[in-house]
Structures are given as structure tokens and as C-alpha cells.
A = this chain, B = another copy of it.
Amino acid sequence: MKPYNVVIDFYTGDLRPGKKILRRVSDIKKMCYDEKAAEELIQNGDPLVYEAIYADVPEEEGQLGHCTTIIYPGKVGKEYFLTKGHYHAKTGTAEIYFCLCGQGRLIMESMDGDCEILEMFPSSASYIPPFWSHRTMNTGTEPLIFYCIFPAEAGHDYSTIEEKGYPKLIVEENGEVTIIDNPKRRNR
């Protein structure tokens, strides 16, 4: 394997050369507090919620996966547009989110049930320790853009979060970013 450069646009999050995945409201419907509002959005064009653009790296120990994520501004009901959220399949692996543009929140939960929320803003680099699940939301009016780096063999476990949800939700109330308890939280 040879060294290589990718180029990351600080203002659009474009990463070249890279492989893009798109997530629409239909992809995150099950993760939304207000599934009825999600269904209405899906019927009305199923808007794009986020994109991730991955650089090419072998999924092997010692390698580092890296990608950009662009979460568009928007809400499902009163809940800010969010990523699916996941544990790593290899749970004992960390991740770093380096924010380039926009405003957001990063919610994390440890396997012991501790919940932490960090702010994301241009120049914040958030450290997600091993064994913490993670989800991000765009709480601003511009795209939230961040660069993600993780051990390349980390993998994704989406199902735990899909079933349990997080203890807290990040919603807009009276025009303010507000943290509320998640009434749909399930303990497995």
C-alpha cells in the first residue's frame, strides 16, 4: 500500500477521492422520536439528512478509517436532523470528530449507561473513547461538517441504538436547543 492524499473542502465537506453514502429521512425513521413527522417528510420527497464520504482504506488493524460527514440543517418534528448512531462492532475502539463548519451536538452512551453530550463547533475535536456509542445532530442553520477518524477495523453496530435509543433527545423548544428525556427509551 502506498501513501496518498485526499483533499477535504473545509466549507462543503467534500472529500476527494472518496465514496459517498447518502441517508434520507426514510433511513433514520426508526431512530426518530416522532415517527409520524418522519413519515410525512418521507411522503414529501424524503429529504436528504446526511452524507458521509469515505476515503479508501483497508479495514485492517493498524489502519485508520477516515471520512467526512455532512448533516444538513432540518428537523423531524422538533428533533434536529441526526445520524443513525452506532457502537463500533469492535467495541473497544475510539473515534475522533473534528468539526470544520456548523453547530451541533454529539451524544454518547457508555456500555454502563453513562450519557454525555458535547457541543460541536468549528475547531472542536471531540474524543469518543472506546466502548461509547455516538450520534450527532445538526442544531444550527448551516450544514454541520466534520472529519471522522477511527481504527479501520472498528465496524458498525447500528441495531443496539435502533432498538434502545438514547436516554436524552436534542430538540428545538421555543427556538432553543433543548435536552429532554427520551420517553421512548428502552432498556434491553
Contact = CB atoms under 8 A, between A and B. Distances in A.
Interface of A: 1-10, 15, 55, 57, 61-64, 66, 90, 92-96, 98, 106, 108, 114, 116, 118-119, 122-130, 132, 147, 149-152
Given A116-B2, A151-B151, A64 B95 contact: yes
A63 B94 contact: yes
A132 B2 CA distance: 9
Given A95-B64, A96-B64, A5 B147 contact: no
Contacts of A92: 61-62
Contacts of A8: 98, 123-125
A124 B147 CA distance: 12
Contact of A147 (B90, B98, B116, B151): B98
Contacts of A123: 7-10
Considering residues A8, A9, A94, which has the most beta carbons from chain B within 10 angstroms of its beta carbon?
A94
6 contacts: A5-B119, A8-B98, A10-B123, A55-B125, A57-B127, A63-B94
A12 to B, nearest CB: 11
Q: Which 8 A-B pairs have the closest CB atoms?
A: A62-B92, A1-B129, A62-B130, A149-B149, A64-B94, A62-B93, A3-B116, A6-B125
Contacts of A119: 5
Nearest to A100: B10
Contacts of A149: 64, 96, 149
B96 A66 contact: yes
A144 B149 CA distance: 21
A125 to B, nearest CB: 5
